[in-house]
Amino acid sequence: MTPTFQSFITRQKRLGVGISGEYGGRPSIDPCALDAEHPGLIHFYEFGTDADRGLDDNLRRWLARGRPATYHFLDLNLEEAEELDADWLARTRSLAEQLSSPWLCGDAGLWHFGPRDRGHGLLLPPILEPDSAKALGRNIRRLSEATALPVLPENPPALAFIGGMHILDYFAMVCQEADCGLLLDTAHLAIFQHSRGYAPLDGLDGFPTERIIEIHVAGGGERESADGFRYLDDDHRAQVHKDVWSILEELVPRCPNLKAVCYECEHNPAAATLDNFARLNSLFPAPGAAASAP
């Protein structure tokens, strides 16, 4: 049975502020070491991987301590129904169960073009039109039913989008079609707003913020190409752009069902992230923690 949005938020506990991680590749912050050196700063670990690679040692140590974790898939074109094959579904559900993840989440874009290939690494945004939103919503329902887990689509990053809808209107339609919650990436939203010439908060009025279950925060900065094209880069540096902070500070009080805020910063020196973690904890205290002034 597909978990309904209302049943999900009724039983889901607040996780607090977390740190992201991804299988392999560049050096990453060890969440166990960060937690030991700065107790109370991080409360969950969001792990990104695919069905082929599975789990890594950082995550296994975190889980061995009985700490909460969430599963972020990196290998599913969520808009394409043929992606939801039995083998992928079984392996993904198994990984999520090993994490005791309360939900599945992932960018609602194209992770690959053609056959699924772990080394491909493509991520393109969906077409911002109603037919695309409805197709995405139908597949979210299918994935949720097949895994018995709520699915939180994430607004993906891109410097250019095809389609006439505002990305917030697009995902509002997705949430309605799928009866699901949303993982809103504030850095990705800031990039979209900048690319379309909007102000950081444009489109939030009327958006169903009660559907936002998780928020991502990531560093990035303004760049300029050789031909003068200016853009916001989603490079996950430690420094968070002012537009991202503006969106986050506007949203948190308006999201009654918000359960988790994840800072995507794992490839930076741990010391460079501490002030931002403290600021995030002041905005979104963990269960039982008292709010403090930013």
Rg (CA), the chain: 18
Question: Which tokens hold the place of 186?
Answer: 């504030």
Question: At 139, which helix (H) or strand (E)?
Answer: helix 130-147
User: How many Cβ atoms are within 10 Å of 90's Cβ, its own excluded?
Assistant: 13
Model confidence pLDDT, tens digit, residues 125-153:
999 999 999 999 999 999 999 999 999 99
> DSSP class of residue 149?
S
Quickly list DSSP for 43-65.
-EEEEEE-TTT---HHHHHHHHT
Model confidence pLDDT, tens digit, residues 71-130:
999 999 998 999 999 999 999 999 999 999 999 999 998 888 877 766 667 788 999 999
Answer with the residue of higher pLDDT: 221 or 291: 221
C-alpha distances (whole Å) from 72 to each of 153, 164, 273, 280, 284 are: 10, 28, 21, 21, 21
Model confidence pLDDT, tens digit, residues 174-209:
999 999 999 999 999 999 999 999 999 999 999 999
The C-alpha atoms of residue 192 and residue 187 are separated, in whole angstroms, by: 9
- Predicted model pTM: 0.94
Q: Span 153-165, mean pLDDT?
A: 94
Question: Which tokens hold the place of 291?
Answer: 């709010």
Domain 5-283: CATH architecture, name and number where available: Alpha-Beta Barrel (3.20)
Residue 294 has pLDDT above 50, yes or no: no
Question: Which tokens hold the place of 277?
Answer: 């973690």
The helix/strand/coil state of 156 is coil
Residue 240 has pLDDT above 50, yes or no: yes
Identify residue 287 by its one-letter amino acid code: P
Predicted confidence at residue 120, as pLDDT, reads 67
> Quick check: 217 and 278 in contact, CB under 8 A?
no
> Quick check: 107 and 123 in contact, CB under 8 A?
yes
Domain residue ranges in the chain: 5-283
